[in-house]
Structure 1
Amino acid sequence: MKHESLKKQTEDLSGFIGTDFLYAYDNGWKYEWYARNHTTCDYRIYYGLVGGRWVTHQKMHAIKFASHVYKVDWHEPTGTSVSLLFDLKRELVHGTIFFPQWIAGEGQHPEKTICYQNEFIDDMLRFRDEGPAYPYVIISEFAKIVSMKNEGLDNDEVINKAPGQLPPCFCDEIKNAR
């Protein structure tokens, strides 16, 4: 009986889905991530190894890990796997990205992924299959949430274009870090 109760608690994503997050990793990377619905996310990358990349309707798995803490995981057509833990109360994200060698390895080509992925799925699958994949490059970092706003479910206006100029909240975060 306890297992069913715990499962029901982990499925309650009401305090999370529909939220658009802007966050800055300790390594300087800057992301926007939107919990589109219970099974799908959108994101764009303003700065980092694959800055300029953006994706909509990415299938994901999401759970409520604890009060105000949510965890999401997904696997991309590039072969990259991502796991994010959002601590809304402390305004933190912990992200672990498992990059295949062809993207993040020495002398490889992250620029091949810098696009609106949805229009280049066949290319991403081909690059993934051409590899190399192993050994994976694992990047595990903390990030500070600089903005979170509920934009409602399945809002196509949240992430609807390539990342451009940094939003003002990122500029404030950069100034405060100095």
Structure 2
Amino acid sequence: MTDHANSGEPDQDFSDFVGLHFIYTYANGWKYEWYARSETSCDYRIHHGLVGGRWVTDQPMTLVRLAGKMFKVDWHEPTGTSVSLYFDLGRRLIHGTIFFPQWIAGDGGHPEKTICYQNEFIEDMQRFRDEGPSYPFVIISEFAEITFMEQRGADNDEVISQAPGQLPDGYVERTN
């Protein structure tokens, strides 16, 4: 275990983050719903965007606390897509970078192949990934505003439990 005090690394206490449920909208208009299921996994639904309609539960991820109320999560999907999200809870801001393989987001790509409940189609996603092409990756780097944030507790199967479409009960779009 790393001695955080001597390494310069911030304390890795995730209690302010695990269990949080978010809805956020990127500057390009894409709307995502995301849940910090645990320190090592997340769930998400994509309501609008290139792969709107896609949803995933128990996606393995890595989580780090950068400082105070700032966290970063990273994961690699069976599709070959890699995602990195920076959460600034104090400013209700996210910066996301998505590294899409060519087969999804490139010219002639097929994003529609990923629009499903991924957990039921892992072998298909891996086959599409392996058939490619992967390179060069299409990199989408955008800021998003957190328009909804609530604590739902860890490992709550009710948070992300159905296909995208209807937003959760009690959802009110935040306006500044």
TM-score range, shorter chain: over 0.9
Q: Partner letter of residue 54 of structure 2? A: R
Task: Give the whole-Å Cα distance in 1 for the aligned partners of 2:153 and 2:10.
Answer: 21
Q: As a proportion of its length, which structure holds more helix?
A: 1
RMSD: 1.9
Task: Give the whole-Å Cα distance in 1 for the aligned partners of 2:122 and 2:105.
Answer: 19
Q: Partner letter of residue 78 of structure 1? A: T
Scaled by the length of structure 2, the TM-score of the pair is: 0.92
Scaled by the length of structure 1, the TM-score of the pair is: 0.91
Determine if contact 1:100/1:137 at 8 Å carries over to the other structure.
yes
Determine if contact 1:10/1:63 at 8 Å carries over to the other structure.
no
Q: Partner letter of residue 120 of structure 1? A: F
Residue of structure 2 equivalent to 1:112: 113
Specify the SS of the correspondent of 1:147: strand
User: Cα distance, 1:7 vs. partner?
Assistant: 7.2
Determine if contact 2:4/2:11 at 8 Å carries over to the other structure.
no
Residue of structure 2 equivalent to 1:42: 43
Does 120-129 or 4-13 show the bigger shift? 4-13
User: Cα distance, 1:47 vs. partner?
Assistant: 0.2
Task: Give the whole-Å Cα distance in 1 for the aligned partners of 2:115 and 2:99.
Answer: 17
User: Cα distance, 1:4 vs. partner?
Assistant: 2.9
Specify the SS of the correspondent of 1:157: coil
Q: 1:8 to 1:14 in 2, by over 3 A?
A: farther
Q: 1:8 to 1:38 in 2, by over 3 A?
A: farther
Paired residues, what number? 173
Specify the SS of the correspondent of 1:9: coil
Output aligned runs, 1:6-17, within 5 Å: 6=7, 9-17=10-18
Specify the SS of the correspondent of 2:10: helix
Percent sequence identity is 65
Instruction: For residues 9-67 of structure 1, give each alpha carbon's deviation from its aligned partner in whole angstroms, at most 9, with x where no partner exists.
Output: 34211100100000000000000000000000000000000000000000000011111
Residue of structure 2 equivalent to 1:103: 104
Residue of structure 1 equivalent to 2:57: 56
